[in-house]
Amino acid sequence: MAPGSDPLAICGRVHSVETFGTVDGPGTRLVVFLQGCPMRCAFCHNPDTWGFGRAGAGDAGGPGRDMSVAEVLEAFERNRPFYRTGGITLTGGEPLAQPDFVGALFEAAHASPAGRIHTCLDTSGATFDPARPERFERALANTDLALLDIKHSDPAGHVELCGMEGERTLALAVELCRRRIPVIVRHVVVPGITDAREELEGVGRLIARWDNVVGLDVLPYHTMGVAKYERLGIPYPLAGVEPMDASRARELRSTILAARERARAARG
């Protein structure tokens, strides 16, 4: 941000806004889906958020639209009574692809004249760069809660499932732990891919490393995004894979947590 510039005028590239979100952080929330993500997860149900637009260029800049910090806060204030136990969540796409916007928005949310707004970051860490932590300082310094997506516990499996390595996710997890930012881990369970005991126990061993993990969401794979692939003319990577039986989620979650406790006990 240039010296003297107005932080409320900083724009992000936004795909869409959900005004009454109930599954992306505590309470009822304003959920802002940012545009752009480098991962190509086989189970992604938002392929329309992949492309990166150029913030500041209007609709001509590609997918999404520009939205300023002030505009997001205005949208929140219009319905503030409904967000009494909630706040603002940034998701995507990958919000940390736009760290300046995330930082400016979250800082302004904390300083809101009408009262501090709870901030939540839903991220895979795909664009986090541990070699340049200063780029993310403002965003992480103003994050109250992180929803961290652990796609696959095995490095080779991560590449096969997401099209890129998972080291940046793990680096962000370490940074969130260092900062003592509460984290809820999210893991999508795809039948035949991420539902094997070995994979689930691998996730448990990973999260055992981080003492700031306060929750675990096991999310059953679904096919609600298939129609988007058809509209975009993109082959659906998991064609033929049936949705996971949601009733299995509790059992699979227990497998992860049991592995976490064993890893913690072994660590002493």
CATH number at 7-267: 3.20.20.70
Domain boundaries, the chain: 7-267
Distance in angstroms (rounded) separating the CA atoms of residues 229 and 225: 7
pLDDT-based confidence at residue 56 (cuts at 50, 70, 90): very low
| C-alpha distance from residue 49 to each of 14, 24, 159 (Å) | 9, 17, 20
Q: Is residue 151's pLDDT more than 90? A: yes
Choice between 251 and 3, residue whose per-residue pLDDT is larger: 251
Distance in angstroms (rounded) separating the CA atoms of residues 140 and 175: 9
The string over 129-140, giving b where at least 16 C-beta atoms fall within 10 Å of a residue's C-beta and e elsewhere, is: eeeeeeebebbb
What's the pLDDT score for residue 60? 37
What's the pLDDT score for residue 61? 44
The structure's pTM equals: 0.93
User: Across residues 220-247, what is the average pLDDT?
Assistant: 93
User: Across residues 31-39, what is the average pLDDT?
Assistant: 96
Mean pLDDT of the chain: 93
What's the pLDDT score for residue 267? 87
pLDDT-based confidence at residue 68 (cuts at 50, 70, 90): very high
Angle between the N-to-C axes of helices 197-207 and 249-267, in degrees from 0 to 180, rounded to the nearest 10: 50
Percentage of the chain with pLDDT > 90?
Answer: 91
